[in-house]
Structure 1
């Protein structure tokens, strides 16, 4: 696991176009635990301590929640239960606690002209600045986090307790073929960072694979669908397994639902075309297996100009398989098609000679045609 703690001194020099926040623009808000007393420590001494600190002034110590813990008991750890899923709930303590609680608590803060509140997701700069900073914010390289707490000594000393949203490649397990380009994985790894490192907020939605009516990620939309318990079990929440290969869906790629009663399985479009290309190559070489579907009736290929690009494509040897979705007939009066536009999904097989034939789309699970 790559550490993401951001130091006060380093952040004054690093961070891609990190901007200095204005005064926190809300009244202090009460939070579970002991009430902060800004007069318990001399603000000038805290300021002097902060300005001299060469590493992160605060660290967050988190542990799995114990059933024996008394909630918010004096001197005990607090509970963080706003980290996307209940499995990420942890008890934590910010150290040194007295100096952290001496700061005032706010509901939000402002970066440039953008107001950011607790619960918002943010971009956090961490790369070297210099000339590259003038080119703008590189969204892919920025760290992502959710704001859990805002505290400030004054307008020059504003700090955030955050929970990290990792890219798959930032975790030890690495990026898998089923991870989407804009996929993030929330964790219960927390740090305190300087608000000066924040480069703005981002919208992160949840993809609920078990709810067909859930929100769908748009183009260049950050999303999450599983979490990683960094503090406790070091495990991921489970993803839905689909298709004949029992693998998760890549949200950036198409999946197909079998229309046949009693089946209804979801299929990776990639698996469908890979199997079609493999079957065509095996049939041509005389090595087709006995269980290879033989109900596919080839037909001529529609050549209308309004045909969209293939939804998926695969090669096996010198054979290519392309998946096309149902395509309504053209409304252009001057367009001439060799054959009527297909009204259901089909696979186009291209042989080594470049000749094409269209086949019906068959389910990999029940071996029946998909309407």
Structure 2
């Protein structure tokens, strides 16, 4: 996928359009025969209008004059009081709502002259504000059936409709907020231990059909839409998703950072819905645990028990915190080459431990305890 609005994708991507898109400056793809006006979204510093009017250029002041406020559909809206505070200060009043912003569509005269509509219809399909849509890129094949889209969803961009305006029935435009596939994320300013590649921002907890919400905006001709997308907001309240495509995290245009997601497990890592986790049944604990972390803790304790006799330690040695700032390669585990383990998903789950040391080769099964509260998993 092409770089859009400063959001640069990984240099090496499995997405073909990352290398070959002919429109690196914009995500807007509008059929040439329908495009009469090319709109662009800019993000003026609204504080300049009142605070620096004497030294600010006429061009910037003009942008501020036509600026509109956008409450992000991915966050709780500002109150009028908070909005006023935002205008009077240079800092945000609530760091949890980083996607709300001022924007200006240019050319402003053409944009403001068009009438706003609540919905529009393409080939019998009704689209409304806040609907998610598939958007054709310059290399997206023309698909006539919905099943083709579902089978090739990453050939399409995904956006959320914020506003609809039209000059006439042939010239209908939608202001949208972009969603990004996790593969498209740029690398963070500071290397994260859970990055899949140093060249990109995708994390180990991102699922293959996970989208990232953003406050990057564009104005698109609605003829670039390929259909409605079934996208759900996953709040990690359970481990089942009702849709193939979901979002839970946000990427901020201003900070170029991802929002935080819930932490789980003793490693303080995150939940990839495509990787099984175990939950402690103790009402006072209820921690979700990664399978690899459970195996690591059990093998570490078993190794220490073998070395130290019948005085096993209860420390979670060897478990690396996913959000840590450690540099370099992880230290080898003390049990590597000496013990191995695998979890059998029975009821209750059991771990099969194998002693690999010469002269000690044997295998046995054990119940699994929660490494936090020592309750046996059910």
Equivalent residue in structure 2 for 1:363, among 345, 370, 374: 370
Counterpart of 2:65 in 1: which secondary structure?
coil
Aligned to 2:157: 143
1:98-155 per-position Cα deviation (integer Å, ceiling 9, x unaligned):
1112222211122223211111011111042568889933202311110011122233
5+ long unaligned stretches in structure 2: 1-6, 9-24, 51-62, 76-96, 188-200, 316-334
Matched, 1:254 2:276: yes
Q: Tell me the distance in 2 between the aligned counterparts of 1:252 and 1:130.
A: 28
Matched, 1:77 2:67: yes
User: What TM-score, normalized by structure 2, do the two folds share?
Assistant: 0.64
Moved more, 159-168 or 149-158: 149-158
In the TM superposition, residue 80 of structure 1 has moved relative to its aligned partner by: 0.7
Aligned to 2:290: 268
Aligned to 1:238: 260
Aligned in 2, Cα 1:245/1:153: closer, same or farther, shift over 3 Å?
Answer: same
Q: In the TM superposition, what are the counterparts of 1:184-199 in structure 2 within 5 Å?
A: 184-199=211-226
Matched, 1:217 2:241: yes
1:161-209 per-position Cα deviation (integer Å, ceiling 9, x unaligned):
1001111221213211011222111111001112111111112222224
Aligned in 2, Cα 1:316/1:78: closer, same or farther, shift over 3 Å?
Answer: same
Q: Tell me the distance in 1 between the aligned counterparts of 2:310 and 2:251.
A: 42
In the TM superposition, residue 348 of structure 1 has moved relative to its aligned partner by: 3.1
Q: In the TM superposition, what are the counterparts of 1:151-230 in structure 2 within 5 Å?
A: 151-173=165-187, 174-209=201-236, 212=237, 216-218=240-242, 220-230=243-253
In the TM superposition, residue 360 of structure 1 has moved relative to its aligned partner by: 0.7
Q: Tell me the distance in 2 between the aligned counterparts of 1:132 and 1:81.
A: 33
Structure 1 residue runs of 4+, over 4 Å off? 63-69, 129-135, 277-280, 283-294, 315-318, 350-356
Counterpart of 1:136 in 2: which secondary structure?
helix
1:211-230 per-position Cα deviation (integer Å, ceiling 9, x unaligned):
x4x79523x52222221211
CA RMSD in angstroms, aligned pairs only = 3.8
In the comparison of the two structures, how many residue pairs are matched?
285
Aligned to 2:100: 89
Asked whether the 8 Å contact 1:80–1:92 carries over to 2, the reply is: yes
Aligned to 1:43: none
Aligned in 2, Cα 1:241/1:100: closer, same or farther, shift over 3 Å?
Answer: same
User: What TM-score, normalized by structure 1, do the two folds share?
Assistant: 0.65
